Amino acid sequence: ADACRVRPENSTSLLQIDSGHLSAEGSLYVVRNYVLPRLVNE
């Protein structure tokens, strides 16, 4: 089932600090898992 991710894998840190802002860990998660793979494949 699809669900909203609250924490990165193997981490106790939260991805967001409020409804509109990523935490530092959340920012790294997004870049590593979504931004960099797309930049490398282009």
What is the residue type of 15? L
For residue 39, give the DSSP letter. Answer: H
Model pTM?
0.70
Domain ranges of the chain: 1-42
Q: What is the pLDDT of residues 13-26, one digit of tens each?
A: 888 888 889 999 99
Q: Which amino acid is at 10?
A: N
1: pLDDT strictly greater than 70: no
